[in-house]
Amino acid sequence: MGNFQARTDLALEARESISEAESELRGVRVEESYHKEEDVRVTKVMIDTRNAAKIMGKPMGIYVTMEAPALVEPDEDYHREISACLAGELKELLPESEGEQSILVVGLGNREVTADALGPRAVDNLQVTRHIVREYGAAAYNCEKMNQVSALEPGVMAKTGMETAEIVKGVVGETSPDVIIVIDALAARSTRRLNRTIQITNTGIQPGSGVGNHRNALTKESLGVPVVAIGIPTVVDAATIVCDALEKLLEGEEDLDVVKYMSRQQPGFPELYNMYMTGKDIDAVIKRISFTVSEGINMALGCSSL
């Protein structure tokens, strides 16, 4: 019913929102596992064909989703375990390498908007090593080998006047990293997944709805090196949540276009498309999960892990 395209950045939700018939399509493989001790459920969605990518509205590649209910709890020990989990999954998606690598970590988003500050805040706690390794070698860290980690907070277009992709592309061209890790706050379709789900994908970032080589994409195609993206949904699109509620309510009235209907009923409704919804304790949440993410990256890239 309806023709409203719910907005979600999660492959897991994209899969749930397509009909069962479609979900059995060739080209989408799903693997699930459960880490009992940490209470983390890991789902790996692999989109293998162009056709599958089109139906899912997501580019071909691997999407690992870690569902960790306790990510919202303030228990520090627990977060360390999730960081370790994240480090493990991240290393599987990073390109293999025997020696030292140069990795650029990019924290996307707007530091001044709490719910969008995940990327910049995660970058704050990163162990940045590139300048030290280049000056003094891995020995400075008492390691035989040490990755060269650099970090970038490109900011948002409203503040820089530049596309994020322009800034990243320029810095990549000048510093030639072997691989890029991008961190970003995501939008989920459901409040259930907010702040407790981590998605890791080797497809990079495709602003907007997905498939294709967009001008603003941060992908292997656009940047020339592999791009792994780590995202956590911290907001729900306001229009999405209202539409979801209404679709549930109107089930059966097949020919109703919810969006058009709402625009007639509520004059301000289209404004919802510039709004987002988030929790009232979002400051504490962002502080915690940004630390969990940066710790995970530090574990994955530190010298003990080479």
Neighbours of 272 (CB within 10 A): 20
Residue 266 touching a copy of itself (CB under 8 A): yes
Residue 129 touching a copy of itself (CB under 8 A): yes
299 in Cβ contact with 83 (< 8 Å)? yes
Residue 1 touching a copy of itself (CB under 8 A): no
C-alpha dihedral, 170 to 174 to 180 to 184, nearest 10°: -40
Give the 3-state secondary structure of residue 167.
helix
Residue 166 touching a copy of itself (CB under 8 A): yes
Measured from the CB atom, is 93 or 223 closer to a copy of itself? 223
Give the 3-state secondary structure of residue 133.
helix
Task: Give the one residue of 159, 213, 257, 260 binding a copy of itself; rule: CB under 8 A.
Answer: 159
Task: Give the one residue of 14, 60, 152, 230 binding a copy of itself; rule: CB under 8 A.
Answer: 152
Residue 158 touching a copy of itself (CB under 8 A): yes
Residue 283 touching a copy of itself (CB under 8 A): yes
Q: Which stretch binds a copy of itself (CB under 8 A): 52-60, 83-91, 203-211, 238-246?
A: 238-246
Measured from the CB atom, is 52 or 168 closer to a copy of itself? 168
Task: Give the one residue of 27, 88, 279, 302 binding a copy of itself; rule: CB under 8 A.
Answer: 279
Residue 304 touching a copy of itself (CB under 8 A): no
Rounded to whole angstroms, the maximal C-alpha distance in the chain is 69
Write phi, then psi, for 228 (nearest 5 degrees). -105, 130
Task: Give the one residue of 138, 262, 299, 300 binding a copy of itself; rule: CB under 8 A.
Answer: 262
Residue 248 touching a copy of itself (CB under 8 A): yes
**Distances in whole angstroms, Cα of residue 14 to Cα of each of 43, 90, 114, 251, 282:** 13, 21, 26, 20, 25
Q: Which of residues 76-115 bind a copy of itself (CB under 8 A)?
A: 110, 112-114
Measured from the CB atom, is 53 or 196 closer to a copy of itself? 196
243 in Cβ contact with 131 (< 8 Å)? no
DSSP 210-233: -SS--TT-BSHHHHSS-EEEEEEE
Task: Give the one residue of 42, 62, 87, 149 binding a copy of itself; rule: CB under 8 A.
Answer: 149
Shortest spacing between CB 51 and a copy of itself, in angstroms:
32
Residue 246 touching a copy of itself (CB under 8 A): yes
Residue 73 touching a copy of itself (CB under 8 A): no
Helix (H), strand (E) at residue 52 = helix 50-56
| Rounded-to-integer distance, Cα 87 and Cα 194, Å | 21
Burial category of 212 from C-beta neighbours within 10 Å (exposed 0-12, middle 13-18, buried 19 and up) = exposed
Residues lying near a copy of itself in the complex (CB under 8 A) are found at: 110, 112-114, 123-124, 128-132, 148-153, 155, 157-163, 166-167, 169-175, 190-192, 236, 238, 241-242, 244-246, 248-249, 261-262, 265-269, 271-272, 274-284
